Amino acid sequence: MAKRVINFYAGPAALPLPALERAQAELLDFENTGMSVMEISHRAKEYDAVHNEAIALIKELLNVPDNYKVLFLQGGGNLQFAMLPMNILHSGRKADYIVTGSWAKKAFKEAQIVAGDAARCIASTEGEKFTRLPKPAEIKVNTDAAYVHICTNNTIYGTQWKEFPKTGNIPIAADMSSDFMWRPFDVKPFGFIYAGAQKNLGPSGLVVAIIRDDFLEMCSDKLPTMLQYKIHAEKNSLYNTPPCFSIYILRNVLMYNKQIGGLDAIYKNNLKKGELLYGMIDKYPDFYRGYVKVKEDRSFMNVDFNLPSEELDAKFVSEAKKAGMVGLKGYRTLGGIRVSMYNAVTVAQIETLCGFMEEFVKKA
């Protein structure tokens, strides 16, 4: 049995062990082909089955309505920051952006590069160092917006939308890279959803996108071919060679998620993990100093806190590593500690961390 650590990295991040074991068992001979899935043509029927199964599992697990397409894209969330406005913000269209952290801010800046003043920031908590989300009264959606863009989970600062902004008939476009499929949610208010797989669902190199048919109709066909959502939808994300192995691992993860009870079971586990970890932080608020100031805004995926000194921060990370827990060093601009507890992190692993935190307080 290979030695496994408890992995709290923010991305690429932990994957479910059964999904990896399946890949291990199939690595040299996939579906009796005598090849690995990495060696098979993306036009072969064996790969085609994986590709379509992954799409079907996303639709099933999320209960995606029939008027949506699932796309597999490349270039990470960063490319989508530009590709979205390139496709939609033409012919005089405008869009609203809510800036709640570094990635939401980058998305807005890319939209400004593409569309200038047609990209409008309608709410931001940057002045408060992103320690909370905007309140509903602070969000004024423009009636002429083609979409309202949000980032659903703040990987760096540790905030998360539990209730999405009310936008009326204006579709939401959402970067869900760090909390996609952490719980069930209603897809219908969204015109476009995109998520880099490397945080919650698979390896790096793959973006999962869900686009509504009417939103797709709005997309430009005057762009370079690889930048057109219409082309990727028309070709079932097979216009060019897709990241086959990343999609294969995604399929494995999704199948595992289905087998353990789907998103309802995953959500229950995630709530329990949050209850445990935030319970420990709240038990010792003078020692484990949470970054997010509004409890309702605290993320169930990425949890930030600081200890009383940088020396204690470093000691915490070092001793946790000796205890078999890695990836706890805070983001470079914040310091402190960051616990990324995506779907693949188990309740038992958070219990182990909390036990370590309890003992660390006593020894400090």
HEC per residue, 43-100: CCHHHHHHHHHHHHHHHHHHCCCCCEEEEEECCHHHHHHHHHHHHHCCCCCEEEEEEC
User: Is position 329 annotated as part of the catalytic site?
Assistant: no
User: Is position 175 annotated as part of the catalytic site?
Assistant: yes
SS3 state at 238: coil
User: Is position 235 annotated as part of the catalytic site?
Assistant: no
Q: Which two tokens stand for residue 177?
A: 């890279």
- Beta-carbon contacts of 194 under 8 Å, excluding residues fewer than 6 positions away, are 73, 77, 80, 84, 174, 175, 176, 177, 207, 208, 209, 210
Neighbours of 164 (CB within 10 A): 15
- Beta-carbon contacts of 211 under 8 Å, excluding residues fewer than 6 positions away, are 68, 69, 71, 191, 192, 193, 229, 233
Helices (H), 218-243: 229-234
Neighbours of 80 (CB within 10 A): 24
Catalytic residue among 69, 96, 175, 304: 175
**Backbone φ and ψ of 147, nearest 5°:** -160, 160
Catalytic residue among 69, 96, 103, 297: 103
- Please give the Cα distance from 15 to 344 (Å, whole number): 5
Is residue 244 a contact partner of residue 42, using CB atoms and an 8 Å limit? Answer: yes
Tell me whether the omega of the peptide bond preceding residue 12 falls within 30 degrees of 0, making it cis.
yes
Catalytic residue among 69, 96, 182, 199: 199
Closest to 178 measured CA to CA, from 270, 272, 333, 302: 302
Beta strand 94-99 pairing with 145-151: parallel
- Beta-carbon contacts of 134 under 8 Å, excluding residues fewer than 6 positions away, are 98, 100, 123, 124, 125, 165
Is residue 207 a contact partner of residue 80, using CB atoms and an 8 Å limit? Answer: yes
- What amino acid positions are annotated as catalytic residues? 103, 175, 199
